[in-house]
Amino acid sequence: MRADTNRRAGRAARAPAAATIRRATLADVAALVEIENASFPGNRLDRRRFRYLLAHAHGVILVDAVNGATELRGYVLLLFRSNSPVARVYSIATAARYVKQGVAAQLLRAAERLALDHGYTRQHLEIRADNAASLALFESRGYRRFGRHAAYYHDGMDAVRLEKALER
């Protein structure tokens, strides 16, 4: 939309910046918290939790970065459990200005590849039952519903459980 506005105003439109998907670092924590706070009304990860996850957790946070890899368009937090074939998408979020631009789909593909590279054969996640856009994204990527958690979220909303068999 900005490009169209710029053209109408007689200015050259800016080309979209190339995105890079990479592992998050401690330098990304402030941007991760900003995306988290803007994306979720409750049950949010805070600065301390992101720092812990980056330093100690059995998993990885992938970010979609632009502008020299400093601006984050979104992130996915993937957790691994030893002695299990299942990786878990714990959280995925897109910065508001990049919603509906394929950021979450790219991050999800990267998380699936990473899980496969680590020897996992399935991926699980939970989504708010009222989050139609996220449910549509995951189902379009081959995830199937396999259960429900009643009153899972801070406001009493149920969670839909999804899974996907990972293949090369």
**Token pair listed for 94:** 């897109």
pLDDT at 3: 36
User: Is residue 1's pLDDT more than 50?
Assistant: no
Radius of gyration, alpha carbons of the chain: 17
CB-CB contact of 104 with 131 (8 Å): no
Judge whether residue 144 has pLDDT over 50. yes
**% pLDDT > 90, the chain:** 78
pLDDT digits (tens, 9 = 90+) for 26-55: 999 999 999 999 998 888 999 999 999 999
Edge-to-edge, what's the strand order for the sheet holding 159-165? 20-23, 59-66, 71-80, 86-94, 122-128, 159-165, 144-149
159-165 and 86-94 beta bridge pairing: unpaired
Nearest of 130, 132, 137 to residue 157 by alpha carbon: 130
pLDDT of residue 51: 95
How far is 41 from 122, CA to CA, in rounded Å? 29
Only one residue has tokens 């979609």, namely 64
β-bridge mates for residue 80, sequence order: 87
CB 78 within 8 A of CB 56: no
**Domain locations along the chain:** 16-124
pTM listed for this prediction: 0.86
Least confidently predicted of 3-12, 20-29, 66-75, 131-140: 3-12
pLDDT band, residue 117 (cuts 50/70/90): very high
pLDDT for residue 42? 80
The domain made up of 16-124 has a fold known as Aminopeptidase (3.40.630)
What is the tens place of the pLDDT at every residue in 64-98? 999 777 799 999 999 999 899 999 999 999 999 99
pLDDT at 2 over 50: no
pLDDT of residue 12: 37
Answer yes or no: is pLDDT of 4 > 70. Answer: no
What proportion of the chain, given as a percentage, has pLDDT over 70? 90
Residue-level pLDDT at 19? 83
Q: Could you give the CA distance from residue 107 to residue 93 in angstroms, rounded to a whole number?
A: 9
